[in-house]
Amino acid sequence: MKHQEKLSEENLTELNEFVLLDFADIPHLQWFLFGLFLVIYIVIVMGNGTIFMITKLDTTLQTPMYFFLGNFSFLEICYVSVTIPRLLINLGTQRRRISLTACATQMCFVLMLGATECLLLAVMAYDRYVAICNPLRYPLVMNQKVCIQLVAGSWISGIPIQIGQTCQIFSLSFCGSSQINHFFCDIPPILKQACGDIFVNEMLVYIVAVLFVTVPFLLILFSYTKIIYTIFKLCSTRNRAKAFSTCSSHLMVVMLFYGTGMVTYLRPKTSHSSGTDKMLSLFYTIVTPMFNPMIYSLRNQDVIMALRKILCK
């Protein structure tokens, strides 16, 4: 009886740190995973860094489309730098403890950069919409001032809301097990550790997810519906193929990022499981940024030519 009372008291003790289990369930692969994620991180930084560099250095790529692509590549470097270094430290040292402050900081940056990515993908879709559906007005509509405003808006818009959401989540009391079966501080696993009724918190998470995930996705969907309709009206097969080639890379990135992101944050609570959340998060935080440079460079002759020029020099 006394033992049960002691356990219940321990369960009600408020937590002041978490333990990120990441891949602790496969101890024999820790150093293999450390090497794998280190290589992935280097590939992401070098790949996206190369695209960012050539969009700034090559004069033929000084257009709105490549201005947005350069910003997107820089964003991807920032995005993975919030999660992978911490994962590498955990795998290398086997010390997986993280304070509430560090956990809140990591979550806040993941949410802010994730919101920026959603908005920036919508901006890139709008750019392609104007270029293909209104080509004569394109230089006027997408001038330098507008491009800078769109990018700045994408970076800044999510900051106050995501800081507020993070503060609201970490104002909760956390009790029970301190172990989180994840490799970074994400919303679903953190809310599972909260004490008491979290219905309001979950509703706010859904509202913010709809605002920063669903609304940009619908704008992208509308843009590409108009784009595809316009492309099919083109008489020249060559022009049609060129237009499809320009848009296909962006569409692939959108499907990779939004597919996993929407399933993670908008599916019912009853269908959440730690293993599934972890695998989905791997896709939109690590796999997508790794494939982005390949998708954009291998399918884009302008990028390939600019890279060859820089390498020749």
Report the share of the chain in percent with pLDDT over 90: 50
CA 145, CA 130: separation in Å to the nearest integer? 16
Which candidate, 109, 278, 84, places its Cα nearest to that of 182? 278
Average pLDDT, stretch 45-71? 92
DSSP 23: T
pLDDT at 138: 94
Q: Tell me, what CATH number does 227's domain have? A: 1.20.1070.10
Gap between the Cα atoms of 115 and 97, Å rounded: 27
CA torsion, points 242, 245, 247, 251, in degrees to nearest 10? Answer: 160
pTM of the model: 0.89
Please give the DSSP secondary-structure letter assigned to residue 183.
S
**What does the pLDDT look like over 208-231, one tens digit per residue?**
988 998 899 999 999 999 988 888
Q: How far is CA 117 from the centre of its chain?
A: 6
Note the pLDDT of residue 292. Answer: 85
Radius of gyration of the chain (CA): 22
Paired tokens of 13 = 């003790």
Residue 184 near residue 86 (C-beta atoms within 8 A): yes
Distance in angstroms (rounded) separating the CA atoms of residues 288 and 72: 12
Return the HEC string of 273-306. CHHHHHHHHHHHHHHHHHHHHHHHHHCCHHHHHH
Q: How many structural domains are present in the chain?
A: 1
Place of tokens 């947005």: 68
What is the rounded CA–CA span in Å between residue 111 and residue 107?
A: 6
Of 45, 52, 114, 48, nearest to 85 by C-alpha is 45
For residue range 153-199, list pLDDT tens digits in order: 999 999 999 999 999 999 998 887 788 989 999 998 899 888 888 88
User: 273: closest CA among 181, 193, 201, 190?
Assistant: 181
- pLDDT of 188 reads 87
The residue segments making up the domain with residue 191 are 2-312
Give pLDDT tens digits for 90-116. Answer: 999 988 899 999 999 999 999 999 999
**pLDDT computed for residue 130 by the predictor:** 94
Whether residue 275 has pLDDT greater than 50: yes
Distances (CA, A) of 259 to 69, 121, 197, 217, 255: 20, 13, 29, 10, 5
